[in-house]
Amino acid sequence: MSGRGEAEFLAAIARSAGPVRGVGLVLLSAFGALSLPGDALPAALGVFALVLIGAVADFGPRGPALVLAGVRVAAVCAAQAQLGGTGQWALNVLTTTAITLQWEWSPRVTAPATVVLLAVYTAVVGWDGSAVLRVVVECSLARLAFRLLLGTTRRVDALRARRAALERAEAVALERHRRDREYLALLHDTASATFLVVAVGGRDADPAEVAGYARRDLELLTAPGPAGGGDVDVGTSLRAVVEGSRLAVDARWDEVLVPVPVALALVRATREALLNVERHAGVRRARVDVAARGSGVEVVVADEGRGFDVAAVSDHRRGVRGSIVERLAAVGGYAEVTSGPGGTTVRAGWPRP
């Protein structure tokens, strides 16, 4: 199957070869007629009229144009013998016709057509070895140029196809990397956080509480992703997170529609922020505010707990950085965490200002 470049090249040749031949032969015939003696001018104008008719046909379908091209060459050759010309007009018409045929037709057509045209020229004008050699060389060069250009377009098509394949592979790899990062962040939000509770609490950890964490972790890790695109309401999406939290959450939200990936990032960031309050803040209450900000949204999760030093958090800890900040950045949003002895505030919004 030919590529786009090859198809465009062949279409351009099919459109231009006939008109180029027609216009070129009109110009050559005009100069040829003017080079004849004055008394031959009326007959030369008659031949020129035939060339004009053939030129009109060159703008039409290829089949009739091919037939009229042969008739035109024969007529001009015959006219040279009658008009007393040197044969240069006929030779120019012959070579121009033979060359342009190489661009339109395959060698199965052009080879016998060229032989016939040369036979007509030789029969009418007489044998001229240099003229025959000129026609053969110029037709061969025209065919070679056509093949070289065709080969170039095919190589361009191959390079385009290869680049498209590389771009598709890169897009797949980036999407896979994004999903891996998302899964790692979700893993931190769930299983690793539960393990941390067990590690810190040791024997004092409440088995029922740990079992509840594990049950929710399993539900989140095995839940399918969003089914498609479209917009969803952020408040509705966060309702399950708030109701499923073990904290007493004071929630207020506006109705704000955002794309599904953005809502998913906000839901998971909010869940991580509430889990951090539950596990580290030392309080049992938090506040969640969802407010429209222009054409976007901002979600605020705040508590009045012990707080922590944000600057002292290691880059290897994925809680704030991976599960909140990077998660929002991945969908074109933002997240800011401020904390101190009086509590912690997480602001997550979209789009990025």
Spatial distance between the Cα atoms of 174 and 322, rounded to a whole number of angstroms: 17
Q: What percent of the chain has pLDDT over 70?
A: 79
- Indicate if the pLDDT at residue 190 is higher than 70: no
Neighbouring residues of 231: CB distance < 8 A, sequence distance ≥ 6:
257, 258, 259, 260
pLDDT at residue number 140: 92
Q: How many CB atoms lie within 10 A of CB 62?
A: 16
Is the distance from CB of 248 to CB of 285 less than 8 angstroms? yes
Average pLDDT, the chain: 81
The separation between CA 70 and the C-alpha centre of its own chain, rounded to angstroms, equals 46
Spatial distance between the Cα atoms of 96 and 169, rounded to a whole number of angstroms: 49
- Indicate if the pLDDT at residue 33 is higher than 70: yes
pTM summary value = 0.49
pLDDT at residue number 302: 95
200-210 mean pLDDT: 60
Neighbouring residues of 75: CB distance < 8 A, sequence distance ≥ 6:
47, 50
38-43 mean pLDDT: 76
